[in-house]
């Protein structure tokens, strides 16, 4: 596997140590159906929410390559924890594109704020004096139990007399205006992410906490004092890269576990350890090549969107479709690697205490994510390449 970022070796070293702690708490995390409080505290101690936050608010502006290094490493130990860490790192980058007053609402008292977002369903906003009135339901909000603020996808109709089309975007909402359905998360994979359903009922969202999608998906007018290229990176290409990193890290963790177990597991029919079995050699080799390919594709994609940010260029329809397909293909490669290892691991891998069955469930949960669904994004990319046009027209 590719090594840690040369520029930030301390992040990698801290992540390796943290991954061991998160692995030790993986069963507890699954049984809770959310991250344990001490895991969230550890992520905050590691400055995860500050990694791509503007320096104006005590952020580090490290860039997404560093986040990917961190997430891949954490996923070796617990993919649910890595998933939440990825989002806690990514979401401040999105908030940096809101009005500075909205940023002050969240970060005015300190930078280490777990911030959550949902783009899975649109709430409905009604224009009112000074903002919008928001109501709706948002499923799959990962890490929500520990978040004091939420960015929620919203559609709102124009005010009376306004002939413009309906708008979509994000509304920034405080915890006091949100209810969490604690019974909405009983799942097979990524159990520990606590990706529960949120409800908002007629909450007022002031105009400075509303961000139109058109202002997010185009090269932005800076909403912070920072003019770093990081905040010019294209939304469509950037969002979800950190989640693809969870798949890569989880697959690498599964391979590491398989190698250790193969040195001790006796194949009863062959009467030898699995590490001496030629079939296992093929399984490990193919899994390793798929994981390495996924990691290289992930790093190349990260660099591509970084360069787009440095040039402040808008992505073409074809490039955006390709980047979306890349993220899905990364997840597919990682899933295929884990599938092969799991199939070669026998009945013992089904035990709840065996990490391999958790890697297998979690990787399939990632592959089922709308942003990682290979069929959808392959069809979209192929349709663009053929000249028919995109089949996905969402802004992110």
Q: List the domain boundaries for the chain.
A: 9-109, 115-217, 235-385
List, for residues 86-132, the tens digit of each pLDDT value: 999 999 999 999 999 999 999 999 999 999 999 877 799 999 999 99
Phi-psi region of 117 (alpha: psi -120 to 50; beta: other; left: phi over 0): beta
Task: Please give the average per-residue pLDDT across 371-393, as a whole number.
Answer: 96
The domain made up of 235-385 is a member of CATH 2.30.30.40:
no
Please give the CATH topology (third level) of the domain spanning 9-109: Butyryl-Coa Dehydrogenase, subunit A; domain 1 (1.10.540)
**Binning pLDDT at 50, 70 and 90, where does residue 47 land?**
very high
Q: What predicted TM-score, i.e. pTM, was given to this entire model?
A: 0.94
Alpha helix (H) residue ranges in 78-115: 79-95, 100-107
Given a cut of 80, whether residue 226 has pLDDT beyond it is no
Q: Cα 14 from chain centroid? A: 20
User: pLDDT tens-digit profile of 123-150?
Assistant: 999 999 999 999 999 999 999 999 999 9
Dist. CA 244–CA 327, nearest whole Å: 6
Q: What is the SS3 string spanning 157-219?
A: CCCCCCCCCCEEEEEEEEHHHCEEECCCCCCCCCHHHCCEEEEEEEEEEEHHHEEECHHHHCC
CATH class of the domain comprising 115-217: mainly beta
pLDDT score for 221:
46
Q: What is the pLDDT of residue 165?
A: 66
Helices 79-95 & 241-262 angle (0-180, nearest 10) = 160
Which ranges of 268-316 does DSSP label H, i.e. alpha helix?
Answer: 278-311
In whole angstroms, what is the distance from residue 116 CA to residue 33 CA? 17
């Amino acid at each position: 596997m590719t090594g840690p970022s040369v520029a930030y070796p301390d992040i990698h070293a801290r992540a390796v140590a943290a991954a061991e702690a998160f692995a030790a708490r993986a069963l507890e995390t699954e049984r809770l159906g959310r991250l344990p409080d001490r895991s969230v505290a550890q992520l905050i101690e590691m400055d995860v929410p500050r990694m791509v936050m503007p320096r104006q608010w005590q952020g580090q502006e490290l860039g997404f390559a560093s986040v990917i290094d961190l997430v891949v490493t954490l996923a070796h130990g617990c993919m649910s924890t890595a998933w939440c860490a990825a989002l806690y790192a990514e979401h401040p980058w999105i908030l940096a594109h809101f009005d500075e007053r909205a940023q002050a609402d969240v970060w005015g008292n300190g930078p280490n704020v777990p911030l959550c977002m949902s783009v899975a369903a649109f709430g409905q906003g009604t224009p009112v004096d000074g903002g919008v009135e928001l109501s709706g339901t948002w499923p799959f909000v990962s890490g929500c139990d520990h978040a004091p603020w939420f960015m929620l996808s919203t559609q709102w109709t124009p005010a009376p007399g306004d002939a413009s089309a309906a708008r979509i975007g994000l509304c920034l909402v405080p915890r006091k205006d949100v209810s969490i359905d604690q019974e909405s998360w009983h799942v097979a994979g990524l159990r520990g992410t606590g990706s529960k359903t949120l409800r908002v009922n007629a909450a007022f969202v002031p105009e400075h906490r509303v961000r139109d999608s058109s202002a997010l998906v185009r090269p932005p007018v800076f909403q912070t004092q920072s003019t770093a290229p990081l905040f010019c990176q294209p939304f469509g290409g950037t969002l979800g890269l950190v989640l693809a990193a969870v798949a890569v890290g989880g697959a690498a963790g599964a391979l590491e576990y398989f190698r250790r177990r193969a040195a001790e597991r006796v194949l009863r029919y062959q009467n030898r350890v699995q590490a001496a079995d030629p079939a296992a050699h093929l399984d490990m080799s193919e899994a390793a090549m798929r994981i390495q390919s996924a990691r290289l594709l992930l790093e190349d994609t990260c660099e591509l969107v970084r360069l787009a940010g440095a040039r402040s260029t808008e992505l073409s329809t074809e490039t955006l479709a390709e980047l979306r397909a890349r993220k899905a293909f990364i997840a597919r490669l990682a899933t295929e690697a884990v599938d092969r290892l799991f199939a070669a691991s026998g009945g013992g891998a089904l035990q709840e205490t065996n990490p391999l069955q958790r890697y297998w469930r979690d990787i399939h949960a990632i592959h089922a994510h709308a942003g990682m669904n290979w069929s959808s994004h392959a069809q979209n990319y192929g349709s663009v390449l053929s000249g028919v046009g995109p089949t996905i027209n969402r802004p992110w």
